[in-house]
Amino acid sequence: MTLMSPKTKRININKHENGKLPKPVKQLGPHRYLNRELSWLEFNRRILGEALSSRHPLLERIKFLSIFSSNLDEFFMVRVAGLREQIDAGVQERSPDGLTPNEQFAILRPQVISLTERQRICWFDDLLPQLRASDILICNYDELTPAQQDHAHAFFQEQIFPVLTPLAFDPGHPFPHISNLSLNLAVVVHDPRSGERFARLKIPEVLPRLIELPVDQGRRVFVWLEQVVAANLGVLFPGMQVTESYPFRVTRDADVELQEEEASDLLSTIQSTLRRRHFGRVVRLAVESTIPTRILEILVENMEIATDDVYMMPGPLGFHGLMQLAGIDRPNLKDSSFTPQLPASLETADNVFEAVAAKDMLLHHPYDSFMTVVDFLNTAADDPNVLAIKQTLYRVGHYTPQVDALMRAREHGKQVTVLVELKARFDEENNIEWALALEEAGVHVVYGLVGLKTHCKIALVVRKEGKTLRRYVHLSTGNYNATTAALYTDIGLLTSRDDLGADASDLFNFLTGYSDQRAYRRFLVAPIDLRDAMLRLIKREIEFHSADKPGRLIFKMNTLTDPTIIEALYGASQAGVEIDLIVRGVCCLRPGVPGLSQTIRVRSIIGRFLEHSRIFFFGNGGNNEVYLGSADMMSRNLDRRVEVVFPVEDPNLVAHLRDKVLAIYLEDTLNAHLLQSDGTYHRTDGTPCDVQAWFLTHAH
């Protein structure tokens, strides 16, 4: 299978002087760019589409519905919060597509309401009946039999009641703080002495959202936690009459600004910043549509929010809790299991170092086992010839065989240095925990760089071989996280090439010391030269483009929002270069516009695994080049993060990535959605092809 350039009308390169790239326009008109926030909602719409798709097993559809809900939470915590902050500050600066913050918010709100309505229909009209037909019952409390209600009451008394804390609101009790993403009950009680009173009750996060009841005639039966609490409120307010209760859920601004330049201790600064996250402004109040106006007014007034921050919907609130159902042991309702492959070269070598010394090794996760990476670190930890290990950690996770290897290496007397990025959003607390554990084990830990996030994925092993030192390097598009490695698609390279090893050493000197390294042999490093290098490579494709050797670009990434890169791609399209972009999430480039981007096609792949690999293919006049890396084409990645994009130079691996990876992605019809010039996405058609299923059966 090869990547042939599609036949299209060629556009004269002389539209740009001497083949130079067009300069980004100063006035970014709406016809050139898609709105970033709307593009994000389109991405989450595609996630919801997988929950609606009958091609997935039932519990996998439930999982997609949960992911949709969690994604929407983060959208409000970060993106909507940012818009609200700009609106409050009176910012009138327009986005690249020409909208003010107020105009963007006005467009987003009805889109969110429409999506949550589709979510409701998906749950109540589709998934819930199918669960029931599969003998999994998700019941409201009033649907339970008397015996089941007795069991729920006993569970409440034993497991729930001890952790509940009702908080009164009256002249003697201030309105309680409502924590981010918390589910609560607004409770109205009648006091015989003073009349109606108001209280807030937080639903415990330490308990499962769905309470399982005894099996009924072979059926699994669950009831919502908040409904069990609401049915037993009388126990919490003795001497009072509970007259009403209404669930509500709060989302706060969680994108707290970190004042690094003023920090003398980055660790303590981030710890205090995390505490402030719990007190960010409220950006969404979700309530059930049955809530009376007088109760809603109490919440709105005391949380100091506008009415357009309120979202009314039928219960339950917060579908993220449905992820619990994915743990049900029903293989017939889940994707079939698979066993990740081990590289064939490891079967004939004594150890991973011998295999990598012989030739570069490409790993495509989750189809290739992440345990090869763990084995690389374990072997390094135990090998007496290994002198030093250096590694970056961005999202560590809870299952950490790679961290265990680093600690053991230190116990064996090796020099171990780890950069733990404490600013990885929403993973800060977990990363702090592992950073402190590594320090306690004697590992030299660096907490990242002031003003930059270290997002690159790299591990360096220095090994004594005879009278020389040899460097072994692992570079990847994904995190050193054993859990997500089974769920995300990523590509890594194990190599012992001297130039990549030397670049790795220079990079770690930059990360851990005072090096001002400005040039690398083969690495493209942000924020140093990655942006300029990508622009040069795109320009080169324009210059090499001819009728005999048509220009060809294929970029696979998570996000494309940077205006300068988009303008460069527009310039390449206008020169006639054929361009395919595989962008999982947000894409602000507008494809298929005559005279602007008519040779650009954009597709998003949404399937069983989260597409996370970044691949950059350049036709290069027939001498194909492929780069892999950690960076998306976003301004933050190019300018405010430490990223590494690295070349794959083994001809066999280049051919594999071209013909057995990218080519298959471009043939997918079952997971692919094609971006239209108006910003909407349409399903593809043609011969059925599922790229992820293909990789599961063709892993090398």
Average pLDDT on 498-520 reads: 91
Q: What are phi and psi of 334, to 5 degrees?
A: -130, 170
pLDDT for residue 40: 97
CA 338 to chain CA centroid, Å, is 23
Query: In 412-529, which ranges are continuous DSSP H helix?
Result: 428-440, 498-512
**Would you state the structure tokens that stand for residue 131, as one six-digit string?**
């669960």
173 tagged catalytic:
no
**Would you state the structure tokens that stand for residue 350, as one six-digit string?**
């004594």
- Give the CATH class of 13-30+524-698: alpha beta
Average pLDDT on 401-409 reads: 93
Q: Is the pLDDT of residue 697 over 80?
A: yes
Average pLDDT on 689-693 reads: 96
Average pLDDT on 8-28 reads: 35
Q: What are phi and psi of 54, to 5 degrees?
A: -75, -5
Average pLDDT, the chain: 90
**Would you state the structure tokens that stand for residue 364, as one six-digit string?**
């495509």
Q: Is the pLDDT of residue 28 over 50?
A: no
Cβ-contact 544, 620 below 8 angstroms? yes
> Shortest CA distance to 474 belongs to which of 652, 618, 628, 367?
628
Q: Is the pLDDT of residue 591 over 90?
A: yes
> Shortest CA distance to 532 belongs to which of 447, 627, 639, 609?
639
Q: How far apart are CA 369 and CA 365, in angstroms?
A: 6
Instruction: Reduce the DSSP state of residue 644 to 3 states and report it.
Output: strand
Q: How far apart are CA 54 and CA 174, in angstroms?
A: 49
Count of positions (residues) in the chain: 700
Q: What are the residue boundaries of the structural domains of the chain, listed by start?
A: 13-30+524-698, 39-333, 345-512
Q: Is the pLDDT of residue 610 over 60?
A: yes
User: 13-30+524-698 with 345-512: one CATH topology?
Assistant: yes
Question: CB under 8 Å to 477, separation ≥6 — which residues?
Answer: 457, 490, 491, 492, 612, 613, 614, 615, 628, 629, 630
* pLDDT interval class at 372 (50, 70, 90): very high
**Would you state the structure tokens that stand for residue 118, as one six-digit string?**
């589709």
Classify strands 615-618 and 219-224 as parallel, antiparallel or unpaired.
unpaired
Q: Say whether domain 39-333 belongs to CATH 3.30.499.10.
A: no
Q: One of 364, 365, 455, 612 is an active-site residue; which one?
A: 455
Q: What torsion do the CA atoms of 405, 397, 608, 205 make, to the nearest 10 degrees?
A: 150
CATH code of the region 345-512: 3.30.870.10
Average pLDDT on 439-454 reads: 88
* pLDDT interval class at 271 (50, 70, 90): low
